[in-house]
Homo-oligomer: A and B are copies of this chain.
Amino acid sequence: MSLPMRGLSRLLLRNLEGGQALTLQLGGSQRHASTMPVEKEGKVLHPDLLNRQVRETQYAVRGELYLRAEQLRKEGKEIIFTNVGNPHALGAKPLSFIRQGGVGAYTDSRGNDYIRKEIAHFIEARDGYPANPDHIFVTDGASVAVRMCLNALIRNSVDGVLVPIPQYPLYSASISLYGGSLVPYELDESKGWGMNIDTLKKAVQQARSEGKLVRGMVFINPGNPTGQCLSADNLKELIEFAVKERIVLMADEVYQENIYQDERPFVSAKKVMHDMGEPYASQLELLSFHTVSKGTSGECGLRGGYVEMTNIHPGTIEEVYKCASINLCPNTMGQIAISTMLNPPQPGDPSFEQHHKERSEELASLRRRARMVTDAFNSLEGMTCNYTEGAMYSFPQIRLPPKAMEAAKALGKAGDVYYCLKLLEATGISTVPGSGFGQEAGTFHLRTTILPREEVMADFVDKFKSFHIQFMNDHR
């Protein structure tokens, strides 16, 4: 009879209930935190320290032969690709009824070469520092990029990832799905949802005392659902912390275009890292995410996103490439949307005026809507709300009266779920309860987007206000 866990070479587990001393060693990589190497050759994300299942995964269709063929092609040799069933690349004409064009062939699993160069060019122009197209992977939306990275990082539940509370549930869901441990750090609502380094340090200490190995940290700038924008100084502290503690930073920067104040323009973690110089510029392991779904592009349905990997071990990039290959490639329309979003018309181009006008008007309108929503929430009894400095959301706190809490409890629901369901039934407004994002115990929030058009925003605000006044009266 075989062992119910593959690669289990030595077993020694500490049994919580029985108090027996055991040790766990799975395939050489899954050990107890105290004996597991934090890094290897200066890298947390060393190929030897990745998820064992990621490393053991084989995928031959785009394996050694494909890589050699690509190399020969780049050297100018004519290659007949018969390794993958990719009809359009071999000259099959798209059926006219379906469409005419040139987006029907698989691209490289990291995305089209030319588009990755365009992304690198955008990053260089934004930050003033070089970007390597081979360290950029295009994906079917940024969520897929985030999941790909977390899947490689997380080996078992010893591996912890710092996640802000409140957070975007992509992170909690993916960490759970890959069997890792979420290490929460709270944002400070009383300080505009600011990130405090002492809170981070305490979260890491706490996790370590519980036997966790904190390998990664997610931050969202501008924040989702909280809307705050981080200053360069705050990012600097964060980078110092991450390098000192050997933590890989995952920078969710998908809302970088959505800024509604002038004090803290968007600055990328990569730029701050380079501005800081050594040792940070070469020691911070950084994964930065961007998308076509947000900003003024808002092309959610096309599913285009990317990750830029900075100071990531080349062997790890190879492992991620292998795993990306299993899905063959990101969709081509999303890739094209990235290309056009990052390379907008320049002054003198025929479409410059129209594009500039559309974009500026949308950003100005979003700024007005952020203000309208925040003001409305702050005008209500029992509600307080930080201003939406960036992103697309408002995240007010609701102080629920005891009678509402009792009614929620009677239905077996959390207070904010009860509130949001009542809101939905009464007004048709579909929001997300704060408990879906995490919130300080005993507090209740909800997330709403600021996306209803200005012409319907007044109606939205009126409906919300009327509901809330009625709700408070009903539960007084």
Pair B296/A84 contact, Cβ less than 8 Å: no
Which residues, 190 to 214 on A, are CB-close (under 8 Å) to B? 209-212
Pair B13/A431 contact, Cβ less than 8 Å: no
What's the least CB distance linking A164 to chain B, in Å? 15
Pair B83/A430 contact, Cβ less than 8 Å: yes
> Contact string, A101-124, partner B, CB cutoff 8 A, digits 1/0?
001111100000000000000000
Q: Is A11 an interface residue (CB 8 A)?
A: yes
What's the least CB distance linking A37 to chain B, in Å? 15
Question: In whole angstroms, how far apart are the Cα atoms of A177 and B327 in the complex?
Answer: 13
What's the least CB distance linking A244 to chain B, in Å? 24
> Contact string, A171-187, partner B, CB cutoff 8 A, digits 1/0?
01110111101000000
Given A2-B16, A63-B436, the answer on whether A452 and B80 have CB atoms closer than 8 Å is yes
> Contact string, A231-249, partner B, CB cutoff 8 A, digits 1/0?
0000000000000000000
Cβ of A4: which chain B residues have Cβ within 8 Å of it? Answer: 13-14, 24, 30-33, 156-158, 211
> Contact string, A53-83, partner B, CB cutoff 8 A, digits 1/0?
1101111110111101100100001111111
What's the least CB distance linking A30 to chain B, in Å? 8
Q: Is A147 an interface residue (CB 8 A)?
A: yes
What's the least CB distance linking A167 to chain B, in Å? 11
Which residues, 283 to 300 on A, are CB-close (under 8 Å) to B? 293-294, 296-300
What's the least CB distance linking A58 to chain B, in Å? 6
A349 nearest CB neighbor, chain B only: B97
Interface residue total, chain A, C-beta cutoff 8 A: 147
Given A63-B436, A300-B86, the answer on whether A326 and B177 have CB atoms closer than 8 Å is yes
The residue from B103, B351, B437 contacting A97, defined by CB atoms under 8 A apart: B351
Q: Is A469 an interface residue (CB 8 A)?
A: no
Q: Is A396 an interface residue (CB 8 A)?
A: no
Cβ of A276: which chain B residues have Cβ within 8 Å of it? Answer: none
Which residues, 118 to 138 on A, are CB-close (under 8 Å) to B? none
What's the least CB distance linking A373 to chain B, in Å? 9
Which of A329-337, A377-385, A399-407 is the contact stretch?
A329-337
Given A4-B156, A433-B65, the answer on whether A298 and B104 have CB atoms closer than 8 Å is yes
Q: Is A432 an interface residue (CB 8 A)?
A: yes
Pair A97/B177 contact, Cβ less than 8 Å: no
Pair B177/A435 contact, Cβ less than 8 Å: no
Which of A259-267, A310-318, A443-451 is the contact stretch?
A443-451
What's the least CB distance linking A10 to chain B, in Å? 8
Question: In whole angstroms, how far apart are the Cα atoms of A299 and B65 in the complex?
Answer: 24
Given A105-B301, A429-B80, the answer on whether A177 and B88 have CB atoms closer than 8 Å is no
A438 nearest CB neighbor, chain B only: B60
Pair B301/A88 contact, Cβ less than 8 Å: yes
Q: Is A428 an interface residue (CB 8 A)?
A: yes
Cβ of A345: which chain B residues have Cβ within 8 Å of it? Answer: 97
Q: Is A219 an interface residue (CB 8 A)?
A: no
Q: Is A328 an interface residue (CB 8 A)?
A: yes
Pair A56/B303 contact, Cβ less than 8 Å: no
Question: In whole angstroms, how far apart are the Cα atoms of A17 and B54 in the complex?
Answer: 26
Given A1-B14, A60-B433, A157-B4, the answer on whether A78 and B326 have CB atoms closer than 8 Å is no
Q: Is A359 an interface residue (CB 8 A)?
A: yes
Pair A297/B98 contact, Cβ less than 8 Å: yes
What's the least CB distance linking A190 to chain B, in Å? 24
Q: Is A5 an interface residue (CB 8 A)?
A: yes
> Contact string, A213-229, partner B, CB cutoff 8 A, digits 1/0?
00000000000100000
Cβ of A351: which chain B residues have Cβ within 8 Å of it? Answer: 96-97
| 8 cross-chain pairs, A with B, having the tightest CB-CB distances, nearest first | A60-B436, A87-B298, A301-B332, A303-B331, A69-B430, A6-B157, A333-B333, A90-B451
Q: Given contacts A58-B172, A140-B330, A300-B329, could you give 10 more A-B pairs where the C-beta distance is less than 8 Å?
A: A4-B24, A57-B173, A58-B169, A60-B433, A60-B436, A65-B432, A85-B393, A86-B300, A104-B299, A147-B327
